[in-house]
Amino acid sequence: MGSTEPPKITLYTSYACPWAHRSQIALRELNLAFETVIVDLSVPRTPEYLKINPRGLVPALDYNGIILTESAIVSQFLVDAHSSHLEKASTDEGGPLQRAKINFFVDTFISKLLSLYLAALRAQVGEEKEDAVGKIVDAVVKELEPLLGDAGPFFGGSDRFTLAEVQTASFVIRLVTFAEYEALLPKSLLTSLEAKAPSFWKWASAVVKEDSVTYKWDAKAISERTIDRFEKLRKEAAAAK
Ligand SMILES: N[C@@H](CCC(=O)N[C@@H](CS)C(=O)NCC(=O)O)C(=O)O
């Protein structure tokens, strides 16, 4: 930082992981070159990887030899280290307020939506899933729709991604894609969102088209993998009863 040398960056990731997807989106938006190391999450982490991230999670970012973990912190670090369209610095005019608004949006998205989204994936196909998806739609209408009225098409009237999209787009693309798979989310999710949360719908439709989001996104592979994972979780829950 401060140096003109581009940083040497390695991202430890799994393309199926929405948290790791955030780091990839940040790197692509910032146009930073990086190497990718895929971590196989289907087997225990190697001792080498546990030295990189003792928590055993992806993502982990090696930035000029310094390791950073936790996806929200990784994105914020990258955005702070490289000035860009994604977010103003706190010392820029209007920076503190823009940062507060982005933080509030991301906090709202994660704290109000994520547990409902996971509950809908876990729910049995049919009435249980429809009810669970109804709760997602209600939360979007109440919590997110009012924050996206001035989206243009991105957060805060921006015509390019901001940190708000960097931190949430990996979940938006899953929400939209998984509604194509009955075993994951019913199609009614999309029609209800379009009808009841038009600002959110317009924003989400733009978010899922961005190259930084779709780069390495294999909708079929990730959807099928998610079906298997939640099928297994449902069976384990039934066996434990
Ligand atoms: N709070 C962490 C969550 C990361 C996380 O949960 N990653 C998952 C994959 S999506 C993981 O590495 N899980 C380890 C495993 O499945 O064994 C972050 O934001 O970076």
pLDDT in tens, 172-223: 999 999 999 999 999 999 999 999 999 999 999 999 999 999 999 999 999 9
Same domain for 111 and 190: yes
- Is a pLDDT exceeding 70 seen at residue 3? no
CATH code of the domain in which 57 resides: 3.40.30.10
Residue 217 DSSP SS3: coil
Q: Is residue 178 part of a domain?
A: yes
Tokens standing for 20? 């790791």
- Give percent above pLDDT 70 in the chain: 99
**Which domain-ending residue is among 81, 116, 136?**
81
pLDDT band at 93 (very low <50, low <70, confident <90, very high): very high
pLDDT of residue 1: 53
Atom of ligand 1 nearest to the CA of 18: 10
Is pLDDT above 70 for 2?
no
Same domain, 29 and 123: no
- Best residue among 25, 53, 58 to mutate for probing ligand 1, ranked by most atoms within 8 Å of CB: 58
Q: How many domains does the chain have?
A: 2
Q: Write the CB contacts of 35 (distance below 8 Å, at least 6 apart in sequence).
A: 9, 10, 11
Atom of ligand 1 nearest to the CA of 69: 20
Does the C-beta of 80 come closer than 6 Å to ligand 1? no
Residue in 89, 215, 197, 220 with CA at minimum distance from that of residue 151 = 197
The rounded distance, in Å, linking the Cα atoms of 110 and 226 is 19
Structural domain span for residue 165 = 95-240
Residue nearest to atom 3 of ligand 1 (CA): 19
Q: Is residue 89 part of a domain?
A: no
Looking at residues 15-33, what average pLDDT do you find? Answer: 98
